[in-house]
Structure 1
């Protein structure tokens, strides 16, 4: 019972399958409830899900555009339902709230200080990938609530990919922004979409790209594919964001 209230570092530094039985059971119950609720309420489905399947013993870095907390829940539920475990990278600001800090640590969250060389968080993500866990990253850093909102894409995931010898899988979402209209806190039942792009790794870099430039190529190409998939979804579902 003591470990149920253990220090957060205990959970950041260990595999999710190594958590105390009570935490693992609670996690699966929460996932089952959220999966059922979101499937009925938002009718999401993952297109091209085979891209998220493991291609080896190392987990994948999954990057996505970010419009709502709803897509985080749906993406995590899908991955866990396939039998895998996923560690979302979260802003360290969330840790200011002790309840949120307690919860996120136990559902796999890894906090990172944005704008800094947070090597502790990078190492935690590397070790998670080496254990076969996936790492979920939102490079936009915050929810993009309108097309006019300035977007600052945060890098760093290519370095994690290099450290863990992991591949990057770009995915995109559409429709989740519409769940909660601007100025409202009431969620609406709407259909939403998640689509996976083609995964890639440092070994896919063109032969003429220098060794030092490979990390930048991986980040740029991953982001390009993420937005290309997002634009595909928007074109197929006009008016939805």
Structure 2
């Protein structure tokens, strides 16, 4: 399985490098080991294989909609990548527990706070699912923004290469003082996380988060080790009550 996994990563990396001009230099700032939640926008088919292939051999996992496993090829591919099926529109505790186990094993766990693919490239309003994982795990969160992938399909039809850009932001930890988190607080935390992604994007891609004057950091703690120094897994926080 290890050899097959490496071969798939190699094929993906070579193939996408031929089809796209990929600017992924900032991924070098991702720490070499230790648990981390990577939050990013979700625009199309490119960002997932690029993150998996360009961060290899760094162990990485993430949620994917459960319907993906209905298709034999994608079931095989996503199982090979170690992705976790999640049932959207409900509180999927099995998916949450599986994600916590991945983080406990030192993985990067990828989450798209928007909760669905954004075909226009402009940010949608965040859903609060990523907040639950962040609070339960206590793991550092790394914002990653990308753009250009929304043009991939149309460019491919015209036999054009796509320009794909990745930017990495400052890591932070979600803190709430250990109290109960209600619906409004969850949404505020989700919005604060999304503004960290928006700050990395060109203005035309910020969508629902275009007005950066509304960005707050009330629940974000940036007092974490610098990127590249996060070598030891943090002690995970005790479960916090989430309403």
TM-score normalised per structure 2: 0.73
Mind listing any 5+ residue stretches in structure 1 that lack a counterpart?
A: 1-22, 236-241
Q: Which has the higher strand share?
A: 2
Per-residue deviation, 1:234:
5.6
Distance in 1 of aligned mates of 2:131 and 2:11: 33
Determine helix, strand or coil for the equivalent of 1:121. helix
The residue that corresponds to 1:43 in the other structure is: 21
**Residue-pair matches, total:** 203
Moved over 6 A (4+): none
One of 100, 116, 139 as aligned partner of 1:166: 139
- After superposition, the C-alpha distances for 1:98-140 in whole angstroms (9 at most, x for unaligned) are 3322331121110101121111100100000110111111222
Residue 180 of structure 1: aligned partner: 153
**1:75-224 aligned within 5 A:** 75-80=51-56, 83-146=57-120, 151-181=124-154, 188-203=160-175, 211-213=179-181, 216-224=187-195
CA displacement at 1:51 relative to structure 2? 4.5
User: Is the partner of 1:62 in helix, strand or coil?
Assistant: strand
Q: Which structure dedicates a bigger proportion of its chain to helix?
A: 1
Quickly say closer, same or farther: Cα 1:102–1:38, change in 2 above 3 A: closer
Aligned to 2:202: 231
Task: Summarize the alignment of residues 62-73 of structure 1 with structure 2, pairs less than 5 Å apart.
Answer: 62-73=38-49
CA RMSD of aligned residues (A): 2.8
Instruction: From the superposition, tell whether residues 233 and 152 of structure 1 become closer, same or farther in structure 2 (CA, over 3 Å).
Output: closer
In 2, distance between residues paired with 1:171 and 1:226?
6
The answer to whether the 8 A contact 1:64-1:171 is kept is: yes
Unaligned runs of 5+ in 2: 207-243
